[in-house]
Structure 1
Amino acid sequence: MRFTLRHLEYFVAAGETGSVTLASERINISQPSISTAISHLETELGVQLFVRHHAQGLSLTPAGHRLLREAKSLLDQAHNLYTVASETTTEVRGELTVGCMLTLAPMIIPELCHSFMASFPRAMLRQQEGNQEELIDGLRRAKLDVALLYDLQLPKDIVLEGLVDLPPYVLVSEIHPMATRTTVSLKELSDEPLILLDLPLSREYFLAMFERDGLQPRIAARSAYPDVIRTMVANGYGYTLVNVRPRSDLALDGRRLVRLRLAGGHRPMKIGIATLDGVQKSRLLQAFETHCRTYISDGYIPGMVPPRLDARIGEEVG
């Protein structure tokens, strides 16, 4: 056998992304290395794995589709050797793929993953960001071992262990007429322009709050990127509703944002550790779950103002 697991890893990355460029970004390997690995496999196996489209990436041939399934299975078995080894020793080691919500990842993932790998030097964490639907799909297709997501419309095959509740609040610019307030209601906001976080399930969560109160929001703009929304709000385009509170009150352009409490007792979003129901948890996965329980709670969340501190600051301001 004149090919390696590394060749297969490069092939799988290209097969799943449909692009040498995207595969290079995904696994942090140069494009020529990936192209060379694919050509080597095609020569060694005697089959064409991809159809090359000029300026439009790659598409798998029928043989490529079959070999992709086998290659992924073989890589999974190889990775499981680390799991088997860790189960027979006291050492936590191996590779874990962690998914995280787009809205949470910039704050939570860097500290959470770095501190875990510092505690367990033989462990490697790979992170993937996505919206709720993408993360659930990743768990189902075994692309993710575990995910940090919200308790929004979870299917029965996804098990969520709740970590912390994040109440919704209102975000406005420092020059907004309501910026001097401490609390505001949805009724008062219904005629104001709303900059809506347009992510699956998160979008429905915010719109349902208006529906519950018999109100219709005036949606002025939408974006799937939280930093775009924060910057638009800071520039006076309107207000937004969010649950995540970064430690910084500045948008990316340096303008300041003001947080207002939302009256009405609306349901919070719960951050939790999600896994596929019935999955056999390795020692590595169990260690990561324990680490998450330690680092994410009502009193502390990496990169964020936790609810307990947020409530205390609100009482002092009030």
Structure 2
Amino acid sequence: MTTRSFTLVQLRYFCTVAELENMTEAAAALKVTQSTVSSAISQLEHAMGVRLFTRLHRRGLRLTPAGRRLLRSSLVLLEEADRLPETAREDGGDLVGELAVGVFAPLAPFRAPAILEEFEREHPGVHLSFLEGDQEFLRRALRDGKCELALMYDLGLGAELPRRVLQRVPPHVIVAAGHPLAADPERPVSLRALADEPFILLDLPHTREYYLSVFKMCGIAPVIRHRASGYETVRSFVSRGHGYSVLNQRLHHDLTYAGSPVVRLPMAEELPPIEVLLVRAAGSRPTLKARAFEEVCLRLFGLTG
């Protein structure tokens, strides 16, 4: 077996280029010349015996499948290398560095602030950043190494993605405060009772399919009046009497951005909940920072003592 030589510096340059997808921007971030970065990447590709990037005319760089695999392993290796002095001194040391975590946009306002506060309190040496988007965006971000973990729903994910279930959230109905059903908010309501009324759909990839499947299970088709990609937009439309909606996440209050409230109603039908997941890229080994993030999530979601 031939031993191929590469350096940690080359791996650090590679990770920066992979993150920014641009050689010039990577050189500026690393405070070295572009030729230095380009040479390091060429030497690393030679050492690995594979192409790590696809060069796109006027569109920067994209990781090849081999590059994505190397990126996942490099993050772990570089973190362990950074901790070698603490290991030699046997003092453990605090976690340091960067950690990017994806978060499904409708989940972000519910969970990201509390997670950030708790994580920064426990690991002040780690700069935690959130990458917000829809399910498909986050799936690609995990694949391309843009984030190491992602808080997502169990919608549209391949079975190959490692995941940890954090919460199961059943659907509920929301109506305007002046709706006849709002008079008894504790009484379960059947979707059939609302079948002829205008429906406001949270229209995001995979999310829309989940909500439409809920209606299909009940044997009805919703009368879709408006489609909105924002969770708060849906709630605001409902609060102003433009229709009803079905959602999963629940706020601690009923006021909307429109200044008027919505009323939450339990559903009479037993319908499948959405699972909130912590997802990793396929084939990845979590860094210590990623494990620390998972521990914080498990505690905040009430899954640990």
- TM-score, length basis structure 1: 0.72
Pick the aligned partner of 1:168 from 171, 174, 179.
171
Which residue number in structure 1 is paired with residue 135 of structure 2? Answer: 132
CA deviations over 1:38-67 (Å, ceiling 9, x no partner):
9x9568889xxxxxxxxxxxx953795389
Describe the shift of the 1:37–1:136 C-alpha distance in structure 2 as closer, same or farther (beyond 3 A).
Answer: same
Counterpart-to-counterpart distance in 2, 1:95 and 1:10: 12
- Which amino acid in 2 is paired with 1:188? A
Which residue number in structure 2 is paired with residue 282 of structure 1? Answer: 287
Counterpart-to-counterpart distance in 2, 1:117 and 1:210: 41
> Is 1:65 the counterpart of 2:70 in the alignment?
no
Q: Does structure 1 conserve the Cα–Cα contact (< 8 Å) formed by 2:76 and 2:285? A: no
Superposition RMSD on alpha carbons, in Å?
Answer: 3.7
- Match of 1:110, SS state, is helix
> Is 1:193 the counterpart of 2:192 in the alignment?
no
Q: Within 5 Å, which residues of 2 pair with 1:233-248? A: 233-248=238-253
Which residue number in structure 2 is paired with residue 95 of structure 1? Answer: 98
Which residue number in structure 1 is paired with residue 207 of structure 2? Answer: 202
Describe the shift of the 1:60–1:179 C-alpha distance in structure 2 as closer, same or farther (beyond 3 A).
Answer: same
- Match of 1:179, SS state, is helix
Pick the aligned partner of 1:252 from 251, 257, 266.
257
- TM-score, length basis structure 2: 0.75
- Match of 1:178, SS state, is helix
Q: Does structure 2 conserve the Cα–Cα contact (< 8 Å) formed by 1:86 and 1:283? A: no
Q: Does structure 2 conserve the Cα–Cα contact (< 8 Å) formed by 1:165 and 1:298? A: no
Counterpart-to-counterpart distance in 2, 1:13 and 1:152: 26
CA deviations over 1:86-119 (Å, ceiling 9, x no partner):
4743422221110111111012101101210111
Q: Within 5 Å, which residues of 2 pair with 1:11-90? A: 15=21, 37=28, 61=57, 64-65=60-61, 81-86=78-83, 88=87, 89-90=92-93
- Match of 2:276, SS state, is strand
Q: What stretches of structure 1 of length at least 5 have no aligned partner?
A: 17-33, 47-58, 300-318
Describe the shift of the 1:9–1:266 C-alpha distance in structure 2 as closer, same or farther (beyond 3 A).
Answer: same
- Match of 1:241, SS state, is strand
Describe the shift of the 1:296–1:243 C-alpha distance in structure 2 as closer, same or farther (beyond 3 A).
Answer: same
Describe the shift of the 1:61–1:240 C-alpha distance in structure 2 as closer, same or farther (beyond 3 A).
Answer: same
Q: Does structure 1 conserve the Cα–Cα contact (< 8 Å) formed by 2:215 and 2:222? A: yes
Counterpart-to-counterpart distance in 2, 1:14 and 1:282: 20
Describe the shift of the 1:11–1:140 C-alpha distance in structure 2 as closer, same or farther (beyond 3 A).
Answer: closer
> Percentage identity across aligned positions?
33
Q: Does structure 1 conserve the Cα–Cα contact (< 8 Å) formed by 2:13 and 2:37? A: no
Of 178-187 and 283-292, the range deviating more from structure 2 = 178-187
